[in-house]
Structure 1
Amino acid sequence: MEFSLIKEFFGWRDAVDILGLTLFFYLFIRFLYAAKGLYLLRVIILFGLLWTSAEVLNLATLSWIFEKLWTILLFALIVIFQPEIRRTLANIGRRTKVLKIKEYEERSIDRLVRACRFMAERQIGALIVIEREQNIEDLLEGCIYIDAYISAELIITIFYPLTPLHDGAIVIRDDRIAFASCVLPLSKNPELPKRYGTRHRAAVGITELSDAVAIVVSEETGEISVAVEGNLEKILDPELLKDKLFSLLGVKHES
């Protein structure tokens, strides 16, 4: 008698409804925890399939949740995935806007490389961001306006420990040092090695959101690295750094 009552009031649709509800909360918690680009696509697809299945199978509880809470979920997606959304919009803007191409001279690259060599040999930490086509000013915080010619001495002085501007990045634009002491967005890429500190994560972060080139000199090891498009590459020799910058910035050797 009791089994027949249970069977009458609890059918297979109710079991599927409960399983779907459990899957919904599991995905939602995972989505709060992970919050990464590729995972975002998977979550949206799974949520869409879950919602569609709930409607097709007439699962009352799950359908009610999706119908009543879709605006909250949409707002949560926008807030939690704000870095990914911002990155996407930046990439769209980079493809659609008429962008000014920055021009750099060989002598400026030589001075940059000389400064990096000096700081690497003495393990002076540094972070140098070079604009290419995209203006990155809206991605920066706390900058001090400089607008000075590029010189190895000035770059070394800025990053020398205990000086007022050493903690932060310098930004080079149109063959000039435009800003110093800039705070950059940090990368949230979980695949970055844990040994990378704030400078390296900032270098990767700014290149994930723009087409800029970032140079990092490690304070711990003196190693030089270059970040482009979210990828960080260790440079074993300053001459290789010069060739790398020539290639990335479209600089031709003077005859």
Structure 2
Amino acid sequence: MKEIDCDYSPLKIKLKETMRSIRDDLTTNIEAVNDEENCLLCKLEEIRKECVKMEAIASSFYLTCYLSEFTNKYEEIAKSVQNLSKKKHGAIIVIERTVPVDTFIQKGVPIGALLTPSLLEAIFYPGNPLHDGAVLVKENTIISAANVLPLTSQVITGKKLGTRHRASLGLSDLTDALVLVVSEETGKISFALNGTLYPISNNHEIH
């Protein structure tokens, strides 16, 4: 697999900028605590939103680094999920890494085709018989579609997760696969890795 230079990623630059901005805001507000007439609640809410944004940018950055080790098609995958997100077409994409996932999933329809954005997006087009299940990607190939993943047994507090998100967590609980999810309701993108779900920035959020 080809390697990418994560040190000069635009996402990494944006992440550093956001972290510095949060640091500066915190420094300013530490000084303001002594001013009893200055209510910091609104400013702290703004900092909280910046922290959420920072998490999404960091997830996007590390996702690219994780994918580049196991597929040369990471740019195509990123393009596809962004397009699916804009259209609010729900999707779940499994990128197999070092642990084979075959014994942990209910196998779907064999595809065996080179991964392209148009093919990936066509599979998840609403009305397509394959769109409800998960696509399995190994290296640069779409192995199969309409796969059924195990649901997580985790008790998730404070979050309402749909079936796609619970399935992504379920497989990542059992293997080291990276599972991308696009929400049909909101269009938001996230990925599951090692039993944890991470939000990802959409392109328009990182400029």
Which residue number in structure 2 is paired with residue 187 of structure 1?
152
Alignment: residue pair count: 138
Question: Does 2:101 match 1:141?
Answer: no
Match of 2:186 among 221, 241, 250: 221
Kindly report which structure 2 residues correspond to 1:2-17, keeping only aligned pairs within 5 A, or say none: none
Which residue number in structure 2 is paired with residue 120 of structure 1?
85
Question: Does 2:142 match 1:177?
Answer: yes
Question: Does 2:119 match 1:154?
Answer: yes
Question: Does 2:178 match 1:197?
Answer: no
Shift of 1:103: 3.9
Name the CA distance, whole Å, in 2 between partners of 1:129 and 1:112: 11
Aligned with 2:151: secondary structure?
coil
Q: Gapped runs of 5+ residues in structure 2?
A: 1-68
Aligned with 2:84: secondary structure?
helix
Select between 232-241 and 149-158 the one with higher mean Cα deviation: 232-241
1:26-67 Cα deviation digits (max 9, x unpaired): xxxxxxxxxxxxxxxxxxxxxxxxxxxxxxxxxxxxxxxxxx
Shift of 1:174: 2.2
Shift of 1:238: 4.4
TM norm structure 2: 0.63
Shift of 1:150: 0.7
Select between 190-199 and 216-225 the one with higher mean Cα deviation: 190-199
The answer to which structure, 1 or 2, has the higher relative contact order (CA under 8 A, 6+ apart) is 2
Aligned with 1:145: secondary structure?
strand
Match of 1:231 among 190, 196, 206: 196
Name the CA distance, whole Å, in 2 between partners of 1:117 and 1:137: 27
Q: Gapped runs of 5+ residues in structure 1?
A: 1-101, 242-255
Aligned with 1:153: secondary structure?
helix
Contact preservation (8 Å) 1:113, 1:238: no
AA matched with 1:158:
I
AA matched with 2:145:
A
Runs of 4+ in 1 over 4 A off after TM superposition: 238-241
Contact preservation (8 Å) 1:126, 1:159: yes
TM norm structure 1: 0.51
Aligned with 1:226: secondary structure?
strand
1:135-157 Cα deviation digits (max 9, x unpaired): 00011114111111010000110
Which residue number in structure 1 is paired with residue 9 of structure 2?
none
- Residues 198, 192 of structure 1: alpha-carbon distance in 2 compared, 3 angstrom cutoff: farther
Aligned with 1:120: secondary structure?
helix
1:171-219 Cα deviation digits (max 9, x unpaired): 1012211110000000011125452100000000000000000000000
- Residues 166, 235 of structure 1: alpha-carbon distance in 2 compared, 3 angstrom cutoff: same
Name the CA distance, whole Å, in 2 between partners of 1:240 and 1:134: 33
Match of 2:74 among 99, 104, 109: 109
Instruction: Mark the structure with the bigger radius of gyration.
Output: 1
CA RMSD of aligned residues (A): 1.9
- Residues 172, 206 of structure 1: alpha-carbon distance in 2 compared, 3 angstrom cutoff: same
